Amino acid sequence: MGDVVIRVEHIGKEYPLGQRERYYTLRDKLAKILRPSSYLKGKTPLSRSGNKISKFWALDDVSFEVRRGETIGIIGQNGAGKSTLLKILSRITEPSKGYVDIAGRLGSLLEVGTGFHPELTGRENIYLNGAILGMKKAEITKKFDEIVSFAEVEKFLDSPVKHYSSGMYVRLAFAVAAHLEPEILLVDEVLAVGDAAFQRKCMGKMSDVAEQGRTIIFVSHNMTALLNLCKRSILLERGRIQCVDSTDRVINAYLSDKGKVDVGGWEKNPRREGAGRIRFKSVEIRNAEGGSSLYPSKPVIFRLGFDGKGDIQSSHVNIGLGINTIFGERVLTLFTKFDQRYRGMNFSFETGTVVKCRVAKLPLTPGTYFLTRYVDIDGEISDRIRDAMELQSHED
Of 138-147, 196-205, 232-241, the poorest mean pLDDT is in 196-205
Report whether pLDDT(30) > 70. Answer: no
- Residue 6's pLDDT is 94
Range 298-318 burial, b when 16+ CB lie within 10 A, else e = bebebebebbbeeebeeeebb
The strand pairing partners of 65, in sequence order, are 7
Residues 6+ apart with CB under 8 A from 143: 130, 179, 180, 181
- Residue 92's pLDDT is 83
- Residue 336's pLDDT is 77
**Which residue type occupies 252?**
N
In this prediction the pTM is 0.61
Phi and psi at 52, nearest 5°, equal: -65, 140
> For residue 87, what are the CA distances in angstroms to 6, 136, 227, 233?
14, 25, 24, 18
pLDDT tens column, 239-270: 999 999 999 889 888 877 654 444 444 556 66
- Rounded Cα distance, 312 and 296, in Å: 34
Eight-class DSSP state of 288: T
- Residue 41's pLDDT is 41
> For residue 178, what are the CA distances in angstroms to 105, 185, 263?
12, 7, 39
> For residue 396, what are the CA distances in angstroms to 250, 300, 365?
33, 13, 10
Residues 6+ apart with CB under 8 A from 93: 13, 21, 23, 84, 87
- Residue 190's pLDDT is 60
- Residue 38's pLDDT is 37
- Rounded Cα distance, 210 and 205, in Å: 9
Report whether pLDDT(192) > 70. Answer: no
In 25-89, DSSP assigns E strands to: 55-67, 71-75
Give the chain's mean pLDDT: 79
pLDDT tens column, 34-73: 554 433 344 444 455 555 567 788 999 999 999 999 999 9
Q: Does the CA dihedral 226-230-236-242 come out positive or negative? A: positive
Of 50-54, 346-350, 374-378, the poorest mean pLDDT is in 50-54
Percent of the chain scoring above 70 in pLDDT: 79
pLDDT tens column, 91-141: 888 999 999 999 888 877 776 556 678 889 989 988 987 887 677 889 889
pLDDT tens column, 199-213: 778 788 888 888 888
Of 103-107, 168-172, 192-196, 218-222, the poorest mean pLDDT is in 192-196
Report whether pLDDT(226) > 90. Answer: no
- Residue 102's pLDDT is 92
- Residue 337's pLDDT is 66
